[in-house]
Amino acid sequence: MKEIIYSLIEFSRRYGSDERYVLAGGGNTSAKLGDVLYVKASGTRLRDIDERGFVKMSLPSLHSMFNKEYPPDDAAREASALSDMLSALLPGETGRPSVECMLHALFPQTYVLHLHPALVNGFTCGVDGARRCAELFGEDAVWIGLTKPGYILAKACRSVFEAYQARSGRAPDLLFMQNHGVIAAADSIAALDSLMKRVISTIAATVNINKNININTEQLAPPDTAIAIAPALRTLYARLNKTACAVIHKSDLIDSYIQTAQTAGVLTRPFNPDQIVYCKDAPLILEQGCDPEESFCAYIESHGYPPKIVALIGAAIIALGATKKEADTALSLFLDAARIARYSQAFGGPLPLTDEFSRFILQWEVENYRQRVSFPGGAKSRSDEIIKGKVCVVTGGAQGFGEGIARALAEQGGYVVIADMNEAGAQAAAQSICAECGAGASIGIKANVADEASVKAMVDKTIAEYGGLDVMVSCAGIAIAGGLDTLTLDQFQKVTAVNYTGYYLCAKYASAVMKTQRKYAPDRISDIIEINSKSGLEGSKANFAYAGSKFGGVGLTQSFALELAQYGIKVNAVCPGNLLDGPLWSDPERGLLRQYLEAGKVPGANTTADVRRYYESKVPLGRGCQIADVVRAVIYIIEQQYETGQALPVTGGQVMLS
């Protein structure tokens, strides 16, 4: 038994982790041992499945279902069949079996693999697919026309199998299902792999005869029109789902379909059930210049649910979801549909699902259950709800205060763009956050806040990945100590460019996005937060460039707050004390402890340790500021709904406001 289970897990993971074969956790596998069927549980992903991801079922009980009469009504029939499937579970089993368990039971072979790769579905969703099946695969395969999944499909396949058995004396090894992929069955894993290799190579050879089939989906730079409209669509989607993400995609393949509303027509009807589950049955076709709100609401009125895919004609497609995962999944399934349409050209052209079949899938409880399992919700703490789903940019986020803030926002459910001149550091921090908080929780990019083009690109990248911007944390900063006699003009201007001009540029481009979101959600609140300094509250000897830039930052904060309040944008500053353990202070060569020692800022100091003790002694609480102290202040600023234009000290009492 263990040998079969280990083999089942091995090939399930191998195929499930290869996106050429499996998307969005699709696909099914099973193995038989005596009268027991081990079949993948509904909602389980093949790529990381273990023994707990399979349920054990009685084969005799499943076989008996083929001889039972079920109600003709779709809903009643599927409900009754599901009840019998659950009754076929062996004692102690609590998972829900795949709806295709009857089909797996129908094959007498030990191992069964059901996949729907785009290449295969180009064949099964082609007008000439049925005719070409015998030509390409001979007597080793059977074909079944478009059939509702579940019990009806299993019954139809049984009739086909009986006819095949009568003429060949054995069960088929391959089953091609119109608009629904391929099932391969064998008594060994090696034989199963050989069958799949044959399927892929045979169809690929046919497709390659047509040299005009281009499926390049490499991401191209999104146009400004898509960048401008994505925040509106994300906000409109959030009206119904509270949180929302939007992902922009532009590629050669998609461009070929969205040149006009007419060329996009081939993608307005789905090709397979998975596409309906994750993308719904039709995209919203949006001509440039159209009112997005009017078009979005008209779609909902017509379909009864919001669009998952928006095809912005002449520009890009935008995938929508309550979460980044949902939006990414919708995008991957829609791109798969575009590949299927292209591959189908080698098989007579595309043959989408019928409207009746699409309606059945939309209403089918089994597929609704699978989506719920794939994208589970759950109760969150109050702090999670504050940040959950917010798109946040943290400049200077590769280390120090910035990295700590970025991690805290992601841990509480936010999506975080870490922007830093240190691109490798930003990406490493983002990868670490994703490992802890889930794929898509963070991205790391290079950005120079003193350069306007770089700041615009940073915000554009944020929109392309997440669809909008809710929290801008301007944390990037530098400090170069020196007195009037020693600090050069270049040094003074460098500090000013990063700390003062950089904050202005971040606020300028972030607020433009936030204003768009407010237009479509009049009660929406956004935040711009500058990580300032205690040196923005009082002068700093031999550090005037830094203090001046921070004093200026407080002035910008108050001025921006007055200007942006009407758009629901709160603008505040956090003024930390000395992060003595952070790289800004502790770097042995360029840190402030070293700079202040060399500048003679601390009388009588002979070592950096003397400088540190001096600054600790200035704090009533006797220690330097810590990242956690600043994180709490940032979370508070986002949570509260009444304060704007404030400079919040986090200094341990070193600076006290009167």
- The per-residue pLDDT for 380 is 40
Backbone angles phi, psi at 322, to 5 degrees: -65, -25
Q: Report how far apart, in Å, the C-alpha atoms of 632 and of each of 60, 107, 345, 401, 578 are.
A: 60, 59, 57, 12, 16
- Catalytic-residue membership of 343: no
pLDDT of residue 379: 36
In 3-state terms, what secondary structure has residue 39?
strand
Give the whole-angstrom CA distance, residue 54 versus residue 51.
6
Q: What is the per-residue pLDDT for 383? A: 45
Three-state DSSP state, 259: coil
pLDDT at residue 376 greater than cutoff 70: no
Q: Residue 229's pLDDT is what?
A: 98
Give the pLDDT band of residue 57 (cuts 50, 70, 90).
Answer: very high
Walk me through the domains of the chain, giving residue ranges and CATH numbers. 2-208 (3.40.225.10), 224-374 (3.40.225.10), 382-577+638-650 (3.40.50.720), 578-624 (no CATH)
How far is 471 from 489, CA to CA, in rounded Å? 33
- The separation between the first and the last C-alpha atoms of the chain, rounded to the nearest angstrom, is 76
Interior/surface letters 129-152, b for 16+ CB within 10 angstroms, e for the rest:
bbebbeebbeeebbbbebbbbbbb
**Average pLDDT, stretch 88-107?**
93
Cα–Cα dist 90/59, whole Å: 10
To 10 degrees, the CA torsion angle through 539, 545, 551, 553? -160
Task: Say whether pLDDT at 366 is over 50.
Answer: no
**Both tokens assigned to 482:** 């020196």
* 13: Cβ contacts below 8 Å, ≥ 6 apart: 46, 47, 48, 49
Query: Tell me: the pLDDT tens digits for 506-531?
Result: 999 999 999 999 999 999 999 999 99
| Residue 550 to residue 535: CA distance in whole angstroms | 6
3-state secondary structure of 286: strand
Distance of CA 171 to the CA centre of its chain: 42
Instruction: Considering only residues 377 and 104, tell me which one the structure prediction assigns the higher pLDDT.
Output: 104
Distance (Å) of CA 68 to CA 65, 73, 132, 155, 236: 5, 15, 34, 10, 48
Q: Is 602's pLDDT higher than 70?
A: yes
Instruction: Return the sign of the alpha-carbon dihedral for residues 483, 484, 490, 492.
Output: positive
pLDDT at 223: 96
pLDDT, averaged across the chain? 93
CB 482 within 8 A of CB 509: no
Structure token pair of residue 224 = 């400004």
Q: Which tokens is 525 given?
A: 């609140």
pLDDT at residue number 371: 47
pLDDT tier, 385 (very low <50, low <70, confident <90, very high otherwise): confident
Question: For residues 468 and 460, what is the distance between their CA atoms, to the nearest angstrom?
Answer: 9
Kindly provide the residue ranges of all beta strands, DSSP E only, lying in 351-500, ordered along the sequence: 391-395, 415-420, 442-446, 471-474
Whole-number percent of the chain with pLDDT over 70? 96
pLDDT band at 579 (very low <50, low <70, confident <90, very high): confident
Q: Report whether pLDDT(657) > 90.
A: no
- Give the pTM: 0.91
Coil, strand or helix at 566: helix
- In the set 15, 500, 520, 546, the catalytic residue is 546
SS3 of 254, please? helix
State the pLDDT confidence band at 384, using cuts at 50, 70 and 90: low
**Beta-sheet pairing, 36-40 with 28-33:** antiparallel
Mean pLDDT of 211-237: 92
Closest to 449 measured CA to CA, from 502, 494, 398, 402:
502
Give 565's contacts (C-beta < 8 A, 6+ positions apart): 644
Q: Is the pLDDT of residue 636 over 90?
A: yes
Per-position DSSP letters for 43-111, written without gaps between them: T--GGG--GGGEEEEEHHHHHHHTTS---SSHHHHHHHHHHHHHHTBPTT--SPBPTTHHHHHH--SSE
